[in-house]
Amino acid sequence: MVAEWKKKEVKELKKLLKQYKVFGVVNIDNIPARQMQQMRRNFRDKLLIRVTRNTLIRRALGKSEIAKYIKNNTGFIFTDMDSFKLCKLLDKGKTPAPARGGEIAPRDVIVPKGDTGLPPGPMIGELQRVGIPAQVEKGKIHVKKDTVVVKKDEVISKEVADVLTKLGIHPMEVGLNLIATYEDNRVFLADVLRVDEEKVKNDILKAYSEAMNLALYAGVPNKETINILIGKAYREGISLALELNVINKETVRMILSKAYKDALIISSKIKRGE
């Protein structure tokens, strides 16, 4: 027999799914309870964070495609902000954290070239054991070159984690890691939602510029090009009319002005006896 509290929970989850426009699945591994409470407070005006049993949220979702992304240690987001804004908000809310060993690197972990600030001693051997070329310069340990110690999606070993902590490098991020969202009957994975806004902006501007140049070259009239094309046609028409000495209300002043200047030049030459 299904426990009464489970029935109530599923009913409440169904209500939330109808109430909010967007439903998100987040990974909550390695998030301390204190930080989870802080995030609830920080985000309470923008979203609702819910942690419940995966089986119950799956039951509330029914046959929704997003159900397959609910596994392991997951939490759930309910919000009216769109999926892209939600992803950006959650990513901004993450804070750097030291690795303890056993974690998956979220990105390439790089130890930069230069002074570590550490004095000579056993540490230089620890660096070299994990593949970091190091030497002593001016009484301090220096890393010879930028070194990738762990690649993205690789496991960070305990030995590497200890070295990174001593160097003050915190490769992990503590926060709600978005897996996917469900909005307007569509599933959006986090990788799709994480966009480089500056790059997108530049790409749009570049595409606009190239399309405009092509349309102008081909003489295609539209609301973006029509004024420029009319201006170009006007200038070319005036130039041709002047070349052929066609007199009209647009050219008469310019033709008379040119004739006057030509007359002055001829008069000057006559006076000089040329």
Average pLDDT in the 75-102 region? 91
Terminal C-alpha separation, the chain: 120
Q: How far is CA 234 from the centre of its chain?
A: 44
Residue 63's domain comprises 4-94+175-195
- List Cβ<8 Å contacts ≥24 apart for 195-204: 195/84
Residue 47 lies in a domain: yes
Residue 103 lies in a domain: no
Q: pLDDT at residue 113 above 90?
A: yes
One domain, residues 82 and 180: yes
One domain, residues 115 and 78: no
Dist CA 143 CA 115 (whole Å): 6
Dist CA 14 CA 64 (whole Å): 12
With a CB cutoff of 8 Å and minimum separation 6, the contacts of 240 are 246
Per-residue confidence at 274, pLDDT binned at 50, 70, 90? low
Question: What pLDDT is recorded for position 255?
Answer: 76
With a CB cutoff of 8 Å and minimum separation 6, the contacts of 139 are 119, 120
Residue 20 lies in a domain: yes
**Structural domain count, the chain:** 3
Residue 100 lies in a domain: no
Residue 182 lies in a domain: yes
Higher per-residue confidence, 257 vs 106: 106
One domain, residues 150 and 229: no
Q: pLDDT at residue 259 above 70?
A: yes
One domain, residues 118 and 27: no
Average pLDDT in the 211-220 region? 82
One domain, residues 77 and 182: yes
One domain, residues 47 and 123: no
Per-residue confidence at 273, pLDDT binned at 50, 70, 90? low
């309470």: which residue's tokens? 44
Question: Amino acid identity of 267?
Answer: S
Determine phi and psi for 240, rounding to 5 degrees. Answer: -65, -40
Question: Amino acid identity of 256?
Answer: L
Are the C-beta atoms of 167 and 99 separated by less than 8 Å?
no
Dist CA 167 CA 187 (whole Å): 40
Residue 21 lies in a domain: yes
Q: pLDDT at residue 151 above 70?
A: yes
Average pLDDT in the 70-93 region? 92
Average pLDDT in the 141-153 region? 92
Q: Of the candidates 148, 164, 195, which is a domain's last residue?
A: 195
Q: What's the Cα-to-Cα distance from 152 to each of 58, 72, 133, 250, rounded to whole Å?
A: 31, 21, 21, 68
Question: What pLDDT is recorded for position 31?
Answer: 82
Dist CA 53 CA 189 (whole Å): 21
One domain, residues 38 and 120: no
One domain, residues 74 and 181: yes
Give which of 20, 39, 139, 36 is closest to 89, Cα–Cα: 39
Could you give the count of Cα atoms lying within 13 Å of 237 in the half-sphere of its Cβ? 11
Residue 124 lies in a domain: yes
Dist CA 131 CA 264 (whole Å): 86
Could you give the count of Cα atoms lying within 13 Å of 86 in the half-sphere of its Cβ? 34
Average pLDDT, the chain: 87
Token pair for 81: 């902000």
One domain, residues 27 and 77: yes
Question: What pLDDT is recorded for position 236?
Answer: 81
Q: Which residues in 219-240 are b (16+ Cβ under 10 Å) and which e?
A: eeeeeebeeeeeeeeeeeeeee
One domain, residues 190 and 213: no
One domain, residues 149 and 206: no
Dist CA 236 CA 34 (whole Å): 73
Question: Amino acid identity of 213?
Answer: N
pLDDT in tens, 30-62: 788 888 888 888 898 999 999 999 999 999 998
One domain, residues 225 and 236: yes
In the chain, helix, strand, coil percent, each to 5? 50, 20, 35
